[in-house]
């Protein structure tokens, strides 16, 4: 039997309620996978960092499958509503904007972490992803390292941009001015990352990625800059440079 949305002559319109449902699916799938691993291997010692890696990776895949079912359910008219369309910005301008934002946001992050935090006695603080990478590097797990790079460079950026920008920011933008939608989405994005002392960095990144999504009307640029940002951190971690967390 066809769903009400599919049988209706009117295409489905993205709502804030569905945006929060997408956010719930993302976090709930990660939590359930983590609990399943913890109980499934209760007689075998599994490190917390590996549980975290697997839960976020598998949970991210589950989330993207859910997004795919949404697209199948609501049809082609749903794609542009969550930003899955061509950018209105020319390719040459897109490349320039992505790299300008990448440089500027990481410069601001460097100021915060390397100048401001030491002033208040907070030195050597690293993000959750960096902590995970450091642990996997110490264990020498090839599978763990491969999983980390798949998560950091593909699954994570695609999942987060689709949920935070595609669903949430787009849904909020239907109810309020676009900058209000970017601010609320960025607060939610910030709150979903840790540690809390680095929240200003995550907020800066999210504002930039939300703006480029608003400017281009496409998730492609937001996903690209998110991937490049994670790649930047991955290169720093691999090289052992003490620049950013």
Q: Give 66-86 pLDDT, tens digit per residue.
A: 999 999 999 999 999 999 999
Are 136 and 144 in contact, with CB atoms under 8 Å apart? yes
In 3D space, the residue among 84, 126, 133 whose CA is nearest the CA of residue 234 turns out to be 133
89-125 burial, b at 16+ Cβ within 10 Å, e below that, comes to: beeeebeebbeebbeebbeebeebbeeebeeeeeeee
- Rounded average pLDDT over 15-37: 95
Is the peptide bond between 195 and the residue preceding it cis, with omega within 30 degrees of 0? yes
User: Residue 58 domain-assigned?
Assistant: no
pLDDT at 1: 44
User: Residue 107 domain-assigned?
Assistant: yes
pLDDT at 177: 96
User: Residue 43 domain-assigned?
Assistant: no
- Rounded average pLDDT over 14-36: 95
- Rounded average pLDDT over 223-239: 87
DSSP state of 11: P
Judged against a pLDDT cut of 80, whether residue 130 lies above it is answered with no
- Rounded average pLDDT over 8-24: 90
Q: Give 144-200 pLDDT, tens digit per residue.
A: 889 989 999 999 999 999 999 999 999 999 999 999 999 999 999 999 998 899 999
84: helix, coil or strand?
Answer: coil
Largest Cα–Cα distance in the chain?
Answer: 63
pLDDT at 15: 96
In 3D space, the residue among 138, 142, 162 whose CA is nearest the CA of residue 223 turns out to be 162
pLDDT at 46: 64
- Rounded average pLDDT over 128-155: 85
Judged against a pLDDT cut of 50, whether residue 6 lies above it is answered with no
Q: How far is CA 9 from the centre of its chain?
A: 34
User: Residue 182 domain-assigned?
Assistant: yes
pLDDT at 227: 95
pLDDT at 2: 46
Judged against a pLDDT cut of 60, whether residue 21 lies above it is answered with yes
Number of domains in the chain: 1
Full residue range of the structural domain in which residue 141 is found: 81-239
pLDDT at 45: 64
Judged against a pLDDT cut of 80, whether residue 3 lies above it is answered with no
pLDDT at 7: 47
User: Residue 155 domain-assigned?
Assistant: yes
Average pLDDT over the chain reads 88
Residue found under tokens 């709502």: 15
User: Residue 225 domain-assigned?
Assistant: yes
Q: Give 88-103 pLDDT, tens digit per residue.
A: 999 889 899 999 999 9
Cα-Cα-Cα-Cα dihedral sign, residues 184, 189, 193, 195: negative
Model pTM above 0.75: yes
pLDDT at 133: 79
User: Residue 196 domain-assigned?
Assistant: yes
User: Residue 140 domain-assigned?
Assistant: yes
């Amino acid at each position: 039997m066809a769903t009400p949305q599919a049988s209706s002559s009117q295409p489905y319109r993205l709502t804030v309620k569905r945006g929060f449902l997408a956010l719930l699916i993302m976090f709930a799938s990660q939590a359930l996978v983590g609990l399943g691993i913890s109980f499934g291997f209760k007689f075998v010692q599994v490190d917390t960092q590996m549980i975290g890696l697997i839960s976020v990776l598998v949970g991210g895949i589950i989330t993207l499958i859910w997004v795919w079912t949404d697209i199948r359910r609501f049809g082609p008219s749903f794609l542009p509503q969550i930003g899955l369309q061509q950018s209105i910005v020319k390719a040459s301008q897109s490349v320039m904007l992505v790299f300008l934002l990448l440089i500027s946001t990481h410069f601001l992050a460097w100021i915060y972490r390397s100048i401001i935090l030491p002033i208040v006695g907070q030195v050597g603080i690293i993000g959750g992803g960096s902590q995970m990478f450091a642990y996997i590097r110490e264990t020498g797990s090839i599978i763990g390292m491969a999983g980390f790079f798949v998560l950091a460079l593909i699954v994570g950026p695609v999942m987060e941009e689709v949920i935070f920008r595609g669903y949430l920011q787009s849904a909020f933008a239907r109810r309020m001015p676009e900058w209000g939608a970017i601010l609320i989405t960025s607060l939610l994005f910030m709150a979903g990352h840790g540690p809390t002392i680095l929240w200003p960095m995550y907020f800066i990144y999210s504002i930039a990625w939300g703006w480029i999504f608003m400017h281009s009307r496409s998730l492609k640029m937001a996903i690209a800059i998110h991937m490049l940002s994670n790649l930047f951190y991955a290169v720093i971690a691999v090289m052992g440079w003490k620049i950013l967390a």
